[in-house]
Chains A and B, each alone.
Chain A
Amino acid sequence: MTLGADASAIVVAEKVRCGAISAQRIVEEVLADIQLRNASFNCFTRVLAETARKAAEVIDQKVRDGVDPGPLAGVPFGAKDLFDISGIPTTAGAKMRLNAPPPKSDAEVVARLKRAGAILIGTLNMDEYAYGFATVNAHFGPTRNPHDPSRLAGGSSGGSAAAVAAGLVPLALGSDTNGSIRVPASLCGIWGIRPADNAIPMNGVFPFVEILDTVGPFARSLAELVLIYDVLSDSKRFSSDRQPRVARLDGWFERNADPEALQAVDAVMNHLGSHAVAKMPEAEAARSASHLMTAAQGGAFHLESLRRQAMDYDPAVRDRLLAGAMLPAGNYLKAIAFRKVYREKVRELFERFDILIAPTVPVVAPRIDQATMMVDGKPAPARANLGLYTQPLSVAGIPIVSAPFNRPNRLPLGLQFATWPGREEMLFQLLSQLEVDGLLCANAPPLSSGV
């Protein structure tokens, strides 16, 4: 029996658990597909074929022995190359770390997926040290968007998003500091979640900006996203009979948006029969605070390494880290103070609403060679501004799903659905309804790409 490389995680786990297909067969299919198509997108940086084969043998033996192999039995997954994997260096996308001492154990999230029966296939491309929205890596090359390989996959978890969108693996792990799960999920047309602060453990994750860092999954359907989220998350979900109070975010989150992105928000709001509008307080200042916190913490973390080997960094990352290292402490402390006030204002907003909707990214995926996009009527660096709408929400520390708007045969557009921690179940229920009703869907990329 053959399932096809783009089979859903749910189908794979069901078939493996009942013995209808072996995990070893699944792994061989996935490895062959990666061999055939990865070069077109440059998603995987290392394929761990032998360890994947051994893990599949263990799963199949459990099935034969009548032992429960776990809810993700035989499901292949990839991990952004900043998660510790026992025995191989964690590169964090940096050439200088190719020979770093290998960790002795897996990152907690990788360990949880393995315990649930999932099989790690390899590591995935990213912006160096997660500092970027593009996944254009000077050392490992650019990851290309499966919907149009001349365009960006987004970043910094671009390898993860593109691998899932291309159907190379059904699930992948990424990290989101300023939008690094949501931006590539939007540009590649799949589902991604930035969890609430502390909802998913960060042990064994190479840090970028510790006060903003989160990790989370990508998937091609909401059901798969929720399945993996439940395996990864420490937080319990509470159901509610109350109808969610939904509003669209205006102001900052409409300024600079492409008309197509606003039409997608309109379509969802009209479908829900809601005309409520909410203003995220001081979104522009929040974005500035995220820039300052990122530069300062990133620069401080890399200072010693910058002293020794600045020229070994990706130039696009190095200069920003050096600038961040020289940022006066007062700027950083002001951003930290702002964050506290801002979070309280966001909490007050969620006393009136349950779910807030906004475009994830103002535009569809820019071309890889596209230097600028229009911001406030002026050309501005395209890559730096892909996080216009994700950064202010990162500072709030709330759970946010980027969901693919259903627009077949066109470049993908994602929508952010943000909620207050503890209301994730309400959010998933609303998203499920919108997916069933055809508003949200991860449209498959054109078959021609990558073949």
Chain B
Amino acid sequence: MQSDPKSFQIDASKLLDLRIPEACVTGIETSLELLRTHARILDAYVVQMEIGTIQDEELV
């Protein structure tokens, strides 16, 4: 069963013993979305880098 992304966020805050004030929810979601975007950009680079490394080794 796929987990609901929202339930993961709740777990994260529980893990950290953080009580999220209602007033912060929208702002946190916006911030998390931005961080997810940056994580994807970085992931794409890291994957590229790893593929590049394998290709280089094959060439050798």
Residues of A bordering B, CB below 8 Å: 282, 284-285, 287-289, 291-292, 295, 303, 306-307, 310-311, 315-316, 318-320, 322-328, 331, 334-335, 337-338, 341, 384
Q: Contact at A284–B41, with CB atoms within 8 Å?
A: yes
**B34 interface contact, C-beta 8 A:** yes
Measured between beta carbons, the chain B residues less than 8 angstroms from A320 are 27, 31
Contact with A along B1-43 (1 / 0, CB 8 A): 0000000010011001111110110011011101101110111
Cβ-closest chain A residue relative to B15:
A326
Contact (Cβ within 8 A) A327 B35 = yes
Q: Which of B's residues lie within 8 Å of A, judged by CB?
A: 9, 12-13, 16-21, 23-24, 27-28, 30-32, 34-35, 37-39, 41-46, 49
**The one of A311, A326, A334 that contacts B32, using a Cβ cutoff of 8 Å:** A326
With A and B bound together, what is the CA distance between A334 and B48 in angstroms? 13
For A313, the closest partner residue in chain B by CB is B24
Measured CA separation A402–B42 after assembly (Å):
27
Distance of A327 Cα from B24 Cα, bound (Å):
16
Flag if A310 contacts B24 (CB, 8 Å): yes
Dominant SS among interface residues on chain B: helix
Q: With A284-B41, A334-B46 in contact, do A323 and B35 touch (Cβ < 8 Å)?
A: yes
- For A295, the closest partner residue in chain B by CB is B35
Docked pose: A282 CA to B12 CA in angstroms: 31
B16 CB, nearest partner CB in chain A, Å: 6
Q: How far is the CA of A334 from the CA of B35 in the complex (A)?
A: 13
Q: Is the CB of A322 within 8 A of B24?
A: yes
Task: Tell me the nearest residue of chain A to B17, going by C-beta.
Answer: A307
Report the separation of the CA atoms of residues A44 and B38 in the bound assembly, to the nearest whole angstrom: 35
Question: Is A288 within 8 A of B28, CB to CB?
Answer: no
Are B28 and A331 in contact, CB atoms less than 8 angstroms apart?
no
Closest residue on chain A to residue B12 by CB atoms = A326
Provide the residues of chain B in CB contact with A307, threshold 8 Å: 16-19
Beta-carbon nearest neighbor of B24 in chain A: A319
Query: For the complex, what is the distance from the CA of A8 to the CA of B23, rounded to whole Å?
Result: 47
Complex contact A291–B24 (CB within 8 A): no
A-B contact pairs, 28 of them (CB 8 A): A285-B41, A285-B42, A285-B44, A287-B38, A288-B38, A289-B38, A291-B38, A292-B39, A292-B42, A295-B31, A307-B16, A307-B17, A307-B18, A310-B20, A315-B24, A318-B24, A319-B31, A322-B24, A322-B27, A322-B31, A325-B18, A326-B9, A326-B12, A326-B16, A327-B35, A334-B39, A334-B46, A337-B46
**Residue in B closest to A342 when the chains form the complex, CB atoms:** B45
Q: Which of B32, B41, B43, B45 is within 8 Å of A323, CB to CB?
A: B32
Residues in chain A near residue B45, CB distance under 8 A: 282, 285, 338
The answer on a CB contact under 8 Å between B42 and A288 is yes
Which residues from chain B contact A384 at a C-beta distance below 8 Å? 34
- Closest chain B residue, CB of each to CB of A285: B45
With A292-B35, A319-B30 given, name 12 new contacts (CB 8 A). A288-B38, A310-B19, A315-B24, A316-B27, A319-B27, A320-B27, A322-B20, A322-B24, A322-B31, A331-B35, A334-B39, A338-B42
Nearest B residue to A315, CB-CB: B27
Assembly CA distance A14 to B18 (angstroms): 56
By a CB distance below 8 angstroms, the chain A residues around B39 are 288, 292, 331, 334
B38 and A292: CB pair below 8 A?
A: yes
| Distance of B52 from chain A, by nearest CB (Å) | 11
**Residue in B9, B13, B23, B32 whose beta carbon sits within 8 Å of that of A315 in the complex:** B23
Determine the chain A residues whose CB is within 8 A of the CB of B16 once the complex forms.
303, 307, 325-326
Asked if A289 meets B42 with Cβ closer than 8 Å, knowing A325-B16, A326-B9, the reply is yes
Q: Is there contact, CB below 8 Å, between A323 and B31?
A: yes
